[in-house]
Structure 1
């Protein structure tokens, strides 16, 4: 099969004419594609999932969308929540500011070309429906995506967001912010800045948005950043100056309602990062499961010449793989080994019910080929009421300890392993485990 490149369309007929290929070769290739479609049942039901009556069905419109809404809430990652600013109370005046605040066409993210924004709500609509008059939602677009109109046009793709004069938009945003008790900034990347053919050289929040954020913080009002993004961004300034940051990615058709559910506390965020957020672009590539350096840094945060570290920043990422906060807090007890099982008690030490994702990492200290300093091998998702404690257990098996060697054989070496358990790839308790074949 050929997708988009035009190779077959532009060259196949000529290749056949020159005798470089035969008609039988074309028939065989087509037959393989048709056979796959037949096995998928597409000849029996060629318009599977496109039935208009099915779309109109109440189950599809209601129950399915409710599931999508719940799933979206579970993907959001709470990166920072200073002084428990979130969840917001449904009272007073809340300023919702940013180019993604009322952009329903961007909620579904990239690769959703047929997304119909008439069938779902923008964040502004969802927040106003959620508070239902108990609080006043003030709104201002605040800024463009970029100062530069050409760069913004390149970023927009199929989902345009109206442009205005940035000076005027900033001024309107500050006027709205002055009337509010708390500011919610819906900013970051628009949908088509992610996905295919959407690379960025600068992965900070785009220029005019970041400038507006600085002005909003300077008002002295508490600021919540709702971060829309499809990639890790450099959030060094934001992490230092904004009290609450919720990464909402692109939550799909039900994103508006899902975000409102979380910021007003109807749902407790439980998502964890599946990627590492760097402190600076110069750290990239940065990932938790790297190989050991020949000159490891003995003391992170202090420059050690001739070691693998930076002169100007820490080696540690801003937010590590597996990281994510909750509206409650969890305490991990001592990790213990019982035979080939790892056990740990986890307690909800906060005041609301919450879900924690406990993570198991391993390190093979001596192997036939170099192994990463840690590898995620298992995780468990548990929901605990305030004060509740639950023990979780991970079984250490050869499948977990093994790897593919230079011959592509899956092997497990005898020897010493480090077993690590914790809430993310940085906050880990470590035990040694000896495995014998």
Structure 2
């Protein structure tokens, strides 16, 4: 008998389906009517996306950009800040062009607008999907309050090589975790488009950008399709299934063809296999860069290749607007292909509600009400604290007591602009606190704060490369700075070192060949350790860095990444024990840069070395000069308490199981534990990874409390993708593993049929 609940659910689903169908029909009718009145050049104009440039409100209609908009030659602009400026340009489009088609207005809102959240890689270390969705929702609310209706985020590129600087913009190395985050961010940004506080997301970078060789930005990507579908594609697919409205193609080549003009990627996979129904925009100038790659030969040919492959919008190369009309005359591009691309762009504007109300995102009252508010900042502070990962805590040095004399030393201790991290286009650093200011607030009336910069960020020869966007750190004489730091440290009871990367040492075009702490910082840290006093390292970074010496010599290490506008207070919340650290690594930390690329879900060789092996084994898969294991494994993270795990139990049959384990907080502090479920398929038609994350649960446990954590295992978790992107289930034995991280696991075997 069918239950009443199931019947009602089915009825509601039918109503939603009928409503969606009616909305699609309305949109189709509207867009078809509009396109029937458009000239070919006006259709091509909708495919043109340009930087707005330096526009003042009163002069907006007199700019070169405005001239293009009036003639119907531009579908969107980006990286223009200020609702008044945006409204002025939108008025040009709506009131002065022939057909009054409104503009898409985009921006690189990567991890916040003016209230800045932790960099995306840090957010992924929270393993908290509700917090990540909240961060995206607040970012959308602030950006839309300033006129933005389209954000170039989320970036979901999987990366297993920390030398690549854009690790900071992604979600780490794991396809399952990355997929959950991709869905959360799409939900947060877009909602259902009904509110002017929602924006359209632009998923990036499709595809495989995180797999560039040597971690060198914009570099070649070459891999099997089996690896694409199983290791790199899942987060893109998850975002598409979550309803991502647009997608940005990547700079790199795939199978020898630039992604910008790769028909297999954009049509066969994205649209035909995954049923994506939004539009595809290029990355900055990438159609023109196809010529440098060695494909196309000239801008006209490259533009035709890109459009015919499924690219809908050209960012900044002026290839579509300048050449497509002639290509139609030449017969290398059909008008039907231009119609298809134009329709996709117009449908995006319809979904956003811009045709119903072109000024939906131009409410000038919202800026004061919705941007950098106390509530937004409180959320950013709380979420930042969740992202910090405690890597070492010898003798429970942390949390620090608010007493005695505390020395704060390091080049990251008193810099305002570096706290937010990379890719903060709209940020307002003058409003943000330095770490030193946060310490002063946290310790006021309770402990004495001593401060010294201690050293420069790095040796003079490379320092300018790490401050390309004005995030400079005051430079002084290294010998004098060190002498001052040692004198200050000599007076202190405990030393806190704020060291690591500056904000622009990670991000786009910030590849590094050596991931150790920069030279002069290493030298200072070694001198401070020699004093014999407790030393805490606050490691600022936008990627996994090499902390092997620090692990062996420093008492406590807290990785704080770049926590956003509220970094200073969030660090103090965790350091002084108001919040227990709960972050877990979403990417493996190597012992040496030479181990890269490195990732936990690798495949076995025919001569593997067991995990934990310390001795060298001849004619086996290991290094002469290092062990195979990472310094810190994927999923790792400590807190201010301890947890114990009971024996895992797996129940079920066929292709549906439940894995359960009882977890107990055996310490004296309340804290979150992230219970992680991994799986291995030991016998398959193709080689499968040694383990894969297939589920997790972030659970709060009070001191002494026990909870049973139950995680589902379905056919989806038991399957993999073949080289055609089709899901494959093969019955047989599977190893189910539960535990604290990818290294600390207990295993149970099941048989699925």
* Deviation sequence 1:107-136 (CA, Å, 0-9, x none): 111110221122221111111111122111
Which of 169, 191, 195 lines up with 2:507 in the alignment? 195
1:201 aligned counterpart, secondary structure: coil
Matched, 1:5 2:310: no
* Deviation sequence 1:179-218 (CA, Å, 0-9, x none): 1111110110111111111101111111111111101111
Cα distance in 1 for partners of 2:479, 2:363 equals: 48
Deviation at 1:39, TM superposition (A): 1.9
* Deviation sequence 1:402-428 (CA, Å, 0-9, x none): 111233211211001000000000000
Cα distance in 1 for partners of 2:720, 2:602 equals: 15
Q: Which residue of 1 aligns with 2:265?
A: none
Which of 78, 99, 115 lines up with 2:427 in the alignment? 115
> In 2 relative to 1, CA 17–423 (structure 1 residues): closer, same or farther, beyond 3 Å?
same
1:57 aligned counterpart, secondary structure: helix
Contact 1:143/1:209, CA 8 A, preserved across alignment: yes
Matched, 1:319 2:635: no
After superposing the two structures, state which structure 1 stretch, 101-110 or 271-280, moved more. 101-110
Which of 483, 487, 491 lines up with 1:171 in the alignment? 483
Deviation at 1:294, TM superposition (A): 1.1
Q: Which residue of 1 aligns with 2:561?
A: 249
Q: Which residue of 1 aligns with 2:48?
A: none
Cα distance in 2 for partners of 1:31, 1:215 equals: 64
After superposing the two structures, state which structure 1 stretch, 391-400 or 229-238, moved more. 391-400
Q: Which residue of 2 aligns with 1:402?
A: 719
Deviation at 1:381, TM superposition (A): 0.8
1:162 aligned counterpart, secondary structure: coil
Cα distance in 2 for partners of 1:190, 1:76 equals: 17
Matched, 1:388 2:701: no
* Superposition CA RMSD, Å: 2.1
Contact 2:353/2:360, CA 8 A, preserved across alignment: no
Matched, 1:236 2:548: yes
Deviation at 1:30, TM superposition (A): 4.9
Which of 573, 598, 621 lines up with 1:286 in the alignment? 598
After superposing the two structures, state which structure 1 stretch, 35-44 or 187-196, moved more. 35-44
Q: Which residue of 2 aligns with 1:296?
A: 608
After superposing the two structures, state which structure 1 stretch, 16-25 or 254-263, moved more. 16-25
> In 2 relative to 1, CA 221–52 (structure 1 residues): closer, same or farther, beyond 3 Å?
farther
Q: Which residue of 2 aligns with 1:358?
A: 675
Contact 1:55/1:61, CA 8 A, preserved across alignment: no
2:446 aligned counterpart, secondary structure: coil
Deviation at 1:367, TM superposition (A): 1.4
Which of 181, 184, 187 lines up with 2:496 in the alignment? 184
Cα distance in 2 for partners of 1:17, 1:408 equals: 37
Contact 1:78/1:246, CA 8 A, preserved across alignment: yes
Deviation at 1:41, TM superposition (A): 3.3
> In 2 relative to 1, CA 349–110 (structure 1 residues): closer, same or farther, beyond 3 Å?
same
Contact 2:590/2:598, CA 8 A, preserved across alignment: yes
After superposing the two structures, state which structure 1 stretch, 166-175 or 29-38, moved more. 29-38
After superposing the two structures, state which structure 1 stretch, 211-220 or 337-346, moved more. 337-346
> In 2 relative to 1, CA 347–2 (structure 1 residues): closer, same or farther, beyond 3 Å?
closer
Matched, 1:310 2:623: yes
1:121 aligned counterpart, secondary structure: coil
1:16-415 residue pairs with structure 2 within 5 A?
Answer: 16=325, 24=335, 29-30=341-342, 32-42=344-354, 44=357, 48=361, 53-57=365-369, 61-148=373-460, 150-158=461-469, 159-298=471-610, 300-339=613-652, 340-415=657-732
> In 2 relative to 1, CA 100–53 (structure 1 residues): closer, same or farther, beyond 3 Å?
farther
Contact 1:54/1:60, CA 8 A, preserved across alignment: no
| Structure 2 unmatched ranges of 5 or more | 1-280, 289-313
Give the aligned length. Answer: 434
Cα distance in 2 for partners of 1:241, 1:362 equals: 35
- TM-score (normalizing by structure 2): 0.55
2:376 aligned counterpart, secondary structure: helix
2:568 aligned counterpart, secondary structure: helix
2:497 aligned counterpart, secondary structure: strand
> In 2 relative to 1, CA 146–59 (structure 1 residues): closer, same or farther, beyond 3 Å?
closer
Deviation at 1:224, TM superposition (A): 0.5
Deviation at 1:396, TM superposition (A): 2.0
Deviation at 1:55, TM superposition (A): 3.9
- TM-score (normalizing by structure 1): 0.94
Cα distance in 1 for partners of 2:359, 2:433 equals: 31
More helix by share: 2
Contact 2:546/2:590, CA 8 A, preserved across alignment: yes
Deviation at 1:285, TM superposition (A): 1.1
Matched, 1:419 2:731: no
Contact 1:16/1:23, CA 8 A, preserved across alignment: no
Cα distance in 1 for partners of 2:553, 2:634 equals: 22
> In 2 relative to 1, CA 156–385 (structure 1 residues): closer, same or farther, beyond 3 Å?
same
